[in-house]
Amino acid sequence: MLGLYLHIPFCSSICNYCNFNRGLFESGLKDRYVAALTREITDAGRGEPVDTIFFGGGTPSLLEPCEIAQLLAACRRAFDVAPAAEITLETNPETSTSERMEGFRAAGVTRISFGVQSFREPELKRLGRIHSAQRARAAVVEARAAGFDNLSLDLMMWLPQQSTADWRESVEALIDVSPQHASLYLLELYPNAPLKEDMARAGWSLAPDDDAAEMYLWSMGRMDEAGYGQYEISNVARPGFTSRHNLKYWQDGEWLGFGCGAHSTRNGVRWKNVSSTEEYISRLDRGQSVVTERRTLTRDTQLEEALFTGLRLTEGIDLDIVGRRYGIDAWARYGAAVRPSIEAGLAIREGGRLRLSRDGMLLANEILSVFV
């Protein structure tokens, strides 16, 4: 079934490491954006079955619950949304109150994904985050009280000045809070990130690469012990709580993206909406298409992407299924290139499956580059 992604490009403040498509919240612009987004969804619908909806951003929880309800109503009118659909709202702790959580629940949201990033105040400040660790804990309590029983928390590791002991403290705090799902990401510093300038000015440094590897391997082991199963390079979940929406990206699935800068993949075609919020709104106001790039994926590209994304999953890929789907013998084509990783213990071939070991996950980009 299809997944729907709805992009909400507004934030209360801009974090110094972020290169997502977002801008500062402005009430009038937000009102016009929600109207435009509703129109884009309405125009796109053909009644196809949908089983996941994901509000991402930006900070989608800056929308009012009635606006989330309006967008979900548009999705339901335009698509055949399954009664048990997974409906996720990315939420920043500073936007959370009991009342808003109850409103999001009543609007139909079933899953909250909190951008916590760290449970240590100095780290939150260095990243330009405006919530405190205490606010993050309170937000989780508010969400549970509102009836949410599917919560995810994001943490980032290898932050400036973060030691392995500091990282362990955040992971232990996350386990104390006991969400159903967690995403543990390594910080990626993009070339012009303001955080790089902040680091240079303040003399903050990153721990050595070996410490970053230790942080990753220790935390995945600790999450195992705490009853979470790793199912993707950066994602762990209690049984039955994997992110059904994000699995579509990794399992060669199909989705439609709505909103500025959103990507879609359907029937071997990929397209992207215009990134600028203003241009997105004005194109919809003028009745014009918001799509800026569209390309038909060749079979080779689809195969490469199926391998590249599928191997992010701990279960890896079934080479026979991929082979049948794309009409090639995947092992005959890539086996020689992958064999050195298998010999180094970074990849494992078992029966018809190929997967990365946990050590291999640390070097996933290098290993998976043989496919693209």
Residues that bind ligand SF4 (CB under 6 A): 11, 14-15, 18, 20, 22, 57-59, 92, 115
**Residue among 10 and 271 whose Cβ is closer to ligand SF4:** 10
**Residue among 93 and 103 whose Cβ is closer to ligand SF4:** 93
Q: In angstroms, what is the minimal distance from the CB of 163 to ligand SF4?
A: 23
Q: How far apart are CA 207 and CA 250, in angstroms?
A: 30
Q: Encoding tokens for residue 326?
A: 């794309």
**Residue among 152 and 230 whose Cβ is closer to ligand SF4:** 152
Q: How far apart are CA 85 and CA 118, in angstroms?
A: 30
Partnered with residue 53 across adjacent β-strands are: 4, 87
Residues in the chain, total: 372
From residue 110, alpha-carbon distances to 87, 102, 117 in Å are: 5, 11, 22
Q: How far apart are CA 291 and CA 303, in angstroms?
A: 25
Helix, strand, coil abundance in the chain, percent, nearest 5: 45, 25, 30
**Residue among 11 and 281 whose Cβ is closer to ligand SF4:** 11
**Residue among 193 and 206 whose Cβ is closer to ligand SF4:** 193
CA atoms within 13 A on the CB side of 124: 21
Task: Check: CB of residue 330 under 8 Å from CB of residue 323.
Answer: yes
Q: How far apart are CA 244 and CA 60, in angstroms?
A: 19
Q: In angstroms, what is the minimal distance from the CB of 90 to ligand SF4?
A: 8
Task: Check: CB of residue 131 under 8 Å from CB of residue 91.
Answer: no
**Residue among 261 and 360 whose Cβ is closer to ligand SF4:** 261
Q: In angstroms, what is the minimal distance from the CB of 96 to ligand SF4?
A: 13
> In 3D, which of 274, 277, 301 has the Cα closest to residue 290?
274
